Structure 1
Amino acid sequence: MLPLNDHEELRHDPMFALALGKKIGIENEPATLAGKSTLNRLEHCPEDVEQGADSRYHKIGHSPSEIESLFVKIFLESYSKEPRQIILDLDVTDDLVHGSQEQVFFNTYYGGYCYAPLYIFCGKHLLAAKLRPSNVDPAFGALSELQRVIKQIRQQWKNVEILVRGDSAYSRDDIMTWCDSLPGVDYVFGLAQNSRLVGMTTTTQNKASLEYEQKLSTVVSFLETVFKPDEELTQQASELIDNSIWYKSLDYQTRESWSRSRRVVCKVEYGTKAAKIRFVVTSLTIKKVPPAQLYTQKYCKRGEMENRFKEQQLELFSDRTSTHTFAGNQLRLWFSSLAYVLMNALRQKCLTKTELQNATVGTIRTKLLKLGALITVSTRRILIAITSSCPYKHIFATAHRRLKILPNTA
């Protein structure tokens, strides 16, 4: 069953009926939306509707492939013209469950029984949400999802440059080789360190260490002219200077898992706690993107995707995967994802140049949608009255005005 808190009351709410084009206020024709049993049957409709023609479920089936393509279609339609470059972020998050759902396993990394859905985002646009069991490789299904999404993008945008970005779970030879085979498709992935990689950064570590020690010595010398020399001066001086950060490009190939050598960029950060070393692997050449720019501008910004996970799980309840079947829980994940797509469209189309233009979905729901109103239904009109003291009435009016002039693509 779908998460149906308060459903029996809300299905009679005239605002929901009005939003769905139902006629309200007509005598003897109550504006009642689908009941929980009907919604529950939607989850358990047979995958092949034609074969299920004798089943009571066949009237309310859904097409998984069309739902998946819809996310990419909406993304493409959000642009007025083909962009020069797009960045596709892919990552996995945990969806903790508390029951005996199909394909639920204990995951030691997340510390609980869960699903591990795979998401693909382009900025704030959601392109894919694939439910997966948590006992599979983190990169399981990533290549097939990338192939599907990029194929659909290429059908409309022939020349756009695509950069695929992810953490070290996706620095797999099959994914990188496939990207290498396509013109205009590059990648930058995190890369787990090993003794060979660390050994290749010895010179860079020495340079970072020398630079840091020189900065520290300069500050300590100055402090000794002001204060009495003391062992704590070095500690105090270290708090006044930044760590030394160096970047370097390497040519690296694993002994067995990679089919060819690739460009690896290392980041060496030296401070009071010795060196911190990080690696990324990329198909972008050093002439196109220097090492420091690649790491800071191309790779590190992938952390913004974590905010999309928070919006999905904490504010749109994508973790309500409590039905028994795996397919039913995938449908629930899509419902939550479609809700996110709608909210993101509202944010980008109707809230630009307002104080909510960068607000999270939860903030928009709280400040703009969860408003008390008096609804009066008469024979000729429906009057919705919102209190004049509403602190966000000017934003509400702006969003409503912009929403009215949007083209109807139905």
Structure 2
Amino acid sequence: MKIIIRGDSAYSREDIMSWCESQTEIYYVLGLARNNRLLQLSQSIQYRASQEYSGKIKHIVEFFETLFPPSPDLKNDAAVFVDNSVWYCSLDYQTLDSWSRQRRVVAKVEYSYKEVDTRFVVTSLPVNKIPPGRLYTQKYCPRGNMENCLKEQKLGLHSDRTSTHTFEGNQLRLWFASIAYILMNALREQCLANTEFKNATVEIIRTKLLKLGAVITIRKRRILIAISSACPYKEIFAMVYKSLSQLPCPG
């Protein structure tokens, strides 16, 4: 089984990378802080990105000049219709003293009308397995989605509440928060996909859909939940209940 460790530039350290390299089928894709050497090594794609962007915006400006009188804002207006130029390349790079060996670095240059954004990642995935563009977009960029999930779990389910005096107690709390997030995410994906809550955060689902004032009556053969007729989401709540009732019983 292949494992890919993904992280920001705080994790591009020698001890982490060398440990991954010593393991079988464990790879890393880590952000790397830019520096003058990296910027110099990526000058070729910076130039190509600038040339490509200049060519694209030139055609739009020339077309606008046939429609509108000359204006200093013409190029700025044309930039709205021009996509940014994005180029990638692989570099062989080694720090002066903190890295023990040369490693593969992927550079991304995004050229727009107002700025040039250059970013770098260091990886142990070889170039013959995945080219630089795919590595950056498919292996590194999903880190943002994962961080959003962690943020959602932290804010909506208080997974950062680790205030007990023992490691095991804090670990148990984190497990509870993780299991709760799995259940809430399944509820969102399977029962709320066609509702206004399909893109809602866990915190919003809890606050608006689950934290309801109700009267619960427990009888021998059934449990009755009476919700106020003024509840704004009673139809969605009923639909979710129906969907959950149709799921097969575990085991």
In the superposition, the TM-score normalised over structure 2's length comes to 0.84
User: Are 1:365 and 2:206 matched, yes or no?
Assistant: yes
Q: Would the alpha carbon gap of residues 204 and 308 (structure 1) be closer, same or farther in structure 2, given more than 3 Å must change?
A: same
| Partner SS, residue 393 of structure 1 | helix
Match of 1:253 in 2: 94
Match of 1:144 in 2: none
| Partner SS, residue 81 of structure 2 | coil
Correspondent of 2:225 among 360, 363, 385: 385
Correspondent of 1:232 among 73, 77, 98: 73
Residues 153, 181 of structure 2: 8 Å contact kept: no
Match of 2:49 in 1: 208
User: Are 1:167 and 2:8 matched, yes or no?
Assistant: yes
Amino acid at match of 1:161: K
1:60-108 deviation digits (Å, cap 9, x = unpaired): xxxxxxxxxxxxxxxxxxxxxxxxxxxxxxxxxxxxxxxxxxxxxxxxx
| Partner SS, residue 353 of structure 1 | helix
Residues 249, 291 of structure 1: 8 Å contact kept: yes
Correspondent of 2:182 among 324, 344, 354: 344
Match of 2:239 in 1: 394
Amino acid at match of 2:240: I
Residues 252, 263 of structure 1: 8 Å contact kept: yes
Identity %: 47
Residues 319, 333 of structure 1: 8 Å contact kept: no
Distance 1:360 1:248 in 2: 36
Q: Would the alpha carbon gap of residues 272 and 179 (structure 1) be closer, same or farther in structure 2, given more than 3 Å must change?
A: same
Amino acid at match of 1:397: K
Match of 1:241 in 2: 82
Residues 11, 30 of structure 2: 8 Å contact kept: yes
Amino acid at match of 1:342: A
Match of 1:218 in 2: 59
Aligned runs of 1:241-390 on 2, under 5 Å? 241-320=82-161, 327=165, 331-332=169-170, 334-345=172-183, 347-348=185-186, 352-356=189-193, 359-377=200-218, 380-381=220-221, 383-387=223-227, 390=234
> Unmatched 5+ residue regions in structure 1?
1-159
Distance 1:335 1:400 in 2: 29
Aligned runs of 1:115-134 on 2, under 5 Å? none
Residues 318, 333 of structure 1: 8 Å contact kept: no
Shift of 1:384: 2.4
Distance 1:318 1:253 in 2: 38
> Unmatched 5+ residue regions in structure 2?
none
Shift of 1:228: 1.3
| Partner SS, residue 287 of structure 1 | coil
Distance 1:373 1:309 in 2: 31
User: Are 1:406 and 2:250 matched, yes or no?
Assistant: yes
Residues 191, 281 of structure 1: 8 Å contact kept: yes
Q: Would the alpha carbon gap of residues 234 and 328 (structure 1) be closer, same or farther in structure 2, given more than 3 Å must change?
A: same
Shift of 1:400: 4.1
Shift of 1:331: 3.5
Q: Which has the higher helix share?
A: 2
Q: RMSD across aligned C-alpha pairs, in angstroms? A: 2.6
Equivalenced residue count is 242
| Partner SS, residue 121 of structure 2 | strand
